[in-house]
Homo-oligomer: A and B are copies of this chain.
């Protein structure tokens, strides 16, 4: 099993028992999440931007958050940090101190570069679209030259990464288990509801099969 090397950047310091470094665990979380949060800094001022992402092997693809600030940052060869967090539950412990959440989170580190080649950009848009809406690329009006030109795509080879995962019931202090307070978890899921037609939809256009029962694969 291939793993990311632990460095000062990606090592899970707090609750190290929740850390994981293998590609499979990290990429499963990355692939399930709809969005990520991209962090970068300009003159020591940090910025965090939510955006969609796709993965091609060990490279992260980003688009749609291409503020001139982020582009400038990337063109200067500065590093990025990308965080993805999936919330799975509220963990209600007998003691306030041991309250927690169940979650699957990852953090990725690398340096991005802009894709210039139109064919590469086109392929990246395909990947970004199909990751969010599998099946849609072949059932939509595809990007034209002008749109492709207006789109910025960032490719970030993933240099290092780690996952941090908490599952299961609360962990209370041994002596607190004698207390009478309720304890347990409130599970959380992201729910995708039945598609709603655009009010301007042409009559009788059915909801495509690939959008029925939409869900993210974990």
Contacts and interface: CB of A to CB of B under 8 A. Distances in A.
Interface of A: 9, 13-14, 34-35, 37-41, 44-50, 52, 65-69, 78-83, 85, 87, 90, 92-97, 99, 101, 103, 105, 107, 125, 129, 132-133, 136-137, 139-144, 147, 150-151, 169-170, 176-177, 179-193, 195-202, 205-208, 211, 214
Copies per complex of this chain? 2
Contact of A68 (B13, B87, B186, B195): B13
Given A96-B143, A101-B52, A35 B181 contact: no
Given A46-B81, A48-B39, A96-B143, A195 B185 contact: yes
A85 B41 contact: no
Given A81-B47, A143-B97, A198-B170, A191 B193 contact: no
Interface of A is mostly: mixed
Contact of A182 (B48, B150, B188, B206): B206
